[in-house]
Amino acid sequence: MLKDQQIIAIGGGGFGRNPKHNKIEKYILNQVDINKPNVLFIPTASGEDKSYIINFYSCFSKLKCSPNHITFFQRTLRLDSLINKADVIYVGGGNTKSMLAVWREWKLDILLRKAYLKGKILCGVSAGAICWFEQGVTDSWASNLNSMQCLGIIDGMCCPHYQEEEERRPAVHKMIKDDKLMSGWSIDGGAAVHFKNGNYYKSLRFYEDSNVYHVSKSNKRVIEEKQVMTQL
């Protein structure tokens, strides 16, 4: 029986900020149909920040799973073996542009596509959310927000931290209006979007008042549609 192909894109928050807040992490694990799934953390975007990795283990070691992580800046284990063993692959936040450059050098992007097709759950926060889409809105450049090409597993664009950083909404609207950004998903911190088999499935809220929006353009007007939220 073929497994669903699933991606869960998180707009901000989760164990990186507080490892005791684990609502979205529990939701992710509940999507796996085995008793104790292997969870693989990829902290490339943060430069493999040690405190981030500690928070990952602090959170997931208390849940019913087996956590592990990938490092590129020390001796790197066989990536294909690590990916093949994983049931859930969680990508952390940070600098998206630098992360994708490292992944492509190591051909991890190819391994992640294969993992997705095999039914392994791909998920992540911020940079780890936008990487799965055709385009992402990123602050990888210090000067201003930009759009960039990502892996293209999910159609459209993604913008995380939508309500957390006041410049995000006007920047997304302007880029879409100017045809520099395709339509897609804007996700507040404390919210996430779940996709199944390439299609929108559900919007999730694990912080109070957080939301998900589909943003598009029609007749030269930008349309922002708030989604129905499932409270975790």
6-231 folds as Rossmann fold (3.40.50)
Would you call 126 a catalytic residue per the annotation? Answer: yes
Question: How long is the chain?
Answer: 232
The whole model's pTM is what?
0.96
Active-site residue, selected from the candidate residues 46, 69, 147, 161? 161
Give the pLDDT mean for 121-136: 98
pLDDT tens track for 6-27: 999 999 999 988 888 899 999 9
pLDDT digits (tens, 9 = 90+) for 204-228: 999 999 999 999 999 989 999 999 9
pLDDT value for 39: 98
Tell me the percentage of the chain whose pLDDT exceeds 70. 99
How much is the average pLDDT of 99-120?
Answer: 97
Q: What is the pLDDT of residue 142?
A: 64
Q: What is the dihedral of CA 89, 72, 45, 30, to 10 degrees?
A: 10
**Known catalytic residue at 69:** no
Distance CA 162, CA 174 (A): 14
Cα separation, 191 vs 224, in Å, equals: 16
Of 46, 69, 126, 203, which is the active-site residue? 126
Q: In this predicted model, what pLDDT tens digit does every residue of 131-165 receive, in sequence order? A: 999 999 988 776 788 899 999 999 999 999 999 88
DSSP per residue, the chain: -PPPPEEEEE-S-STTT-TT--HHHHHHHHTSSSSS-EEEEE-GGGTS-HHHHHHHHHHHTTSSSEEEE--SSSPPPPHHHHHHH-SEEEEPPS-HHHHHHHHHHHTHHHHHHHHHHTTPEEEEETHHHHTTEEEEEE--SSSS-EEEE---SEEEEEE-STTTSTTHHHHHHHHHHTTSS-SEEEE-TTEEEEEETTEEEEEEESSTT--EEEEEEETTEEEEEEPPEEE-
Average pLDDT over residues 61-89: 92
Strands 199-205 and 38-42 come out as unpaired
CA distances to 5, 26, 137, 200 from 118, in Å: 7, 22, 28, 19
- Dihedral in degrees, nearest 10, Cα atoms 126, 127, 129, 134: 130
Contacts with 180 (C-beta within 8 Å, 6 or more apart), sequence order: 147
Q: What is the pLDDT of residue 20?
A: 81
171 falls in which pLDDT band (50, 70, 90)?
very high
Mean pLDDT of 187-207: 97
Structure confidence at residue 121 (pLDDT): 98
Mean pLDDT score of the chain: 94
